[in-house]
Every structure is written in structure tokens, then in C-alpha cells.
Amino acid sequence: MTQVYLDNAATTQIRDEVIDAMTKVMKQHYGNASSTHSFGRSSKSLIEKSRKTIASYLNASAGEIVFTSGGTEADNLVLRSAVRDLQVEHIITSRIEHHAVLHTVEQLQKEYHISISYVNIDATGQVDFSHLGELLQNPKKTLVSLMHVNNEIGNLLDIQRVADLCKANKALFHSDTVQSVGHYELDLQKIPIDFLAASAHKFHGPKGVGFAFVRKNSGLKPLIFGGEQERGLRAGTESVHNIVGIEEALKLAYSNLETERAYIEDLKRYFIDKLKAAISGVTFNGCSGDMETSTYTLVNVCLPVSVEKSAMLLFQLDLKGIACSKGSACQSGSTQSSHVLAELLSDADLQKPSIRFSFSSYNTKEELDYVIEILKEFTDH
């Protein structure tokens, strides 16, 4: 059976070079990095090398990179400590953030009685900067948490503009950059961001490892207590092979960035054009159909299909060997519609099937032709 993987926003195929690097570590560098003998020192040196490499790609210092189990833990580390330890009393976010941010902020409100403000977004999901400026006038100590690339609709946030606005208003700025690190250059000397979250499995690295960027002298305290690993910010024996895996994945992502971005951009344009030609009435959610204001890695498509048929679409695509999703992988299995699309679409459009297709350099135009053929067949009947 033909198999087409178009769910790269959920997770990506691990590169062979990353697997090789990780396998070597598991075989040869199995010492505990906290041990003082040579086996431990060998592991520790690999971790610090990885930290320096990752920091160099972001133009940060090595001490500002804290390894975590992924983006969700990094988001939790930043948000919880900001309230608990940095006396943040007011968080500004949007209703279309990832649940790793939204649910954490809601829980913090219950625990610490902080105030939450949701910045207005327009019909395409873009942030209303005038409203953000008004919300920043709140005299309480404030943190803004807005994602760089939306994981469902692909909208690109002007992260520099938000960072500058926060700095001008003496607010802290955190961004979930899980969908952008490894796909976009981020110069953290130029962008005055305080905290960000990243995850290896979004750029062809292993699952179960990510990092938080924590601006030096921020005063952040640990989420997980125990040993003194990660300079006391994240207790627990380090997963050395995973840390080497994220380093190798990021190195390859940025080394091949221009070539792979051009290739994937071409795939996305091709898919949009072919889909429009094949299916009358197809629309694109958020800014995902616009190459300028959305990421090059995904499109979120709303198909002109009846309510009765829409429930079967993902099942039918899966039967044909096509992997895609109706939204975030974190909510698959949920009977609720996407919280992101619920903010943007009319009730009528919410009844139609919306599918996220996300691309990588492993995809081909022939695969996209096959997907469009299946979609056309489904919408025609």
C-alpha cells in the first residue's frame, strides 16, 4: 500500500545521522554524567558540548540552555517559576496557544489567583498589536506568552515586535517556539526574549528531549527538584544519548536550512495550487494558505464536505495510507473540535472537515499528487 506521511507538525522522522550519533553514545558513553570517574566525565563533556552547539545556533550563551524532556516541560518550567518565583501576577496570552501553555496558565490562575488576559486575534488568527499594547499597561508584573509558529494553522508571529513591545513595557516575554526552532533562524542577542521552549522531535531528532532558553540572571527556579543537574534548574540523571541527538538534529537542521526550506516551500505552493484546481470551494484556515504570513511547513485545509461525510475523512485517508491530522496530535482521540479553529471559524465551517497537512524534506510531489487524488475522490462522491 502507498504510504504518505504528512504529519510532520506532530512529529518527524529521525535522521539517520542522528540515530547513528545516539547509538554511539548508548554503546560507548553510558556513564552517569554526575559521576566523577572517567565514564561520568566523558558523558558530562558530551552534554556540555551539545549545550554549546545549541547555544551557538541561537546566538545565546551555553548557560542559558536548560535541557528538558520536551516543549511541554520547558513551557511549564518557565510559566510556573515566573509566577511562583518571579512574582508575576498577570499573564497575557492568546486563546489559540498550545495547551501546554493554556492549561498551565489556567492551573496557575487556580493556584495563585493571578490575572489572565487574552489578546484579541483577527479572523485569520493574527495578534492585534494595539490590544497587546493596551494590555501591557497593566501595573501588575506581567509575562506575555505567545507562540512563534502556531502548530495548527501555521501563523507566524512577529516575534521581534512582541519582544520589543514587552521590553518597552518592562514585561517578561516567553514564546513556545516548538514549531520554529530548527526551521527559522533565531538570534537571541537581537530578539530581547526572556524564555523559549523547543523540542527535538519537531526537527528530525528524538522524542523525549527539548530545552528551555532562560535568559541569564532571570531568577528562574526549578520545576523538578532533586540533584544539581542542569545547574540546579532541572534535577534528574541526564539522558545523554537524547541530548547528543538534539544537538545533531539541530546542527543538521541549520546546516541544511536554506536548501530544505526552499524544497519544502515549493512542496507547499504546489499542494495549495493543485488543491485549489482539483477541489472547488476548498479554503485554508488561519494564514496557512499564505506563504508570507504562515510557516512553510504546513497547511490547514477546510474541505467542502457534508457533516455526515466529514466524520469519516481521517479514517478514509488512513485506510489509503495517508497520515495527517485534524489538529494538534496532543488532542487526537478527543471528541471536541480544535480549540484553535473554534476561535476562527463559523459554526457552519466548523462542521466541515479541517485537516492539517505538514511537510518535510522527505516528502515528494508524487506523494502530494496521490493525496490530492484521494481528497478529490472523497469530495466528489
Residues 309, 345: Cα–Cα separation, whole Å: 19
The residue with cell 509575562 is 143
Residues 203, 180: Cα–Cα separation, whole Å: 9
Q: Which of 319, 380, 311 is nearest to 352 (CA)?
A: 311
Paired strand residues for 300 = 356
In the set 166, 287, 324, 330, the catalytic residue is: 330
Provide CB contacts within 8 A for 227, sequence distance 6+.
34, 235, 236, 237
Residues 9, 269: Cα–Cα separation, whole Å: 17
Contact between 118 and 89 under an 8 Å Cβ cutoff? The reply is: no
Q: For residue 86, what is the DSSP state?
A: S
Q: Which of 67, 40, 63 is nearest to 52 (CA)?
A: 63
End-to-end CA distance of the chain: 22
Question: In 85-187, which residue ranges form alpha helices assigned H by DSSP?
Answer: 99-112, 129-135, 159-168
Q: Is 330 a catalytic residue?
A: yes
Catalytic residues: 330
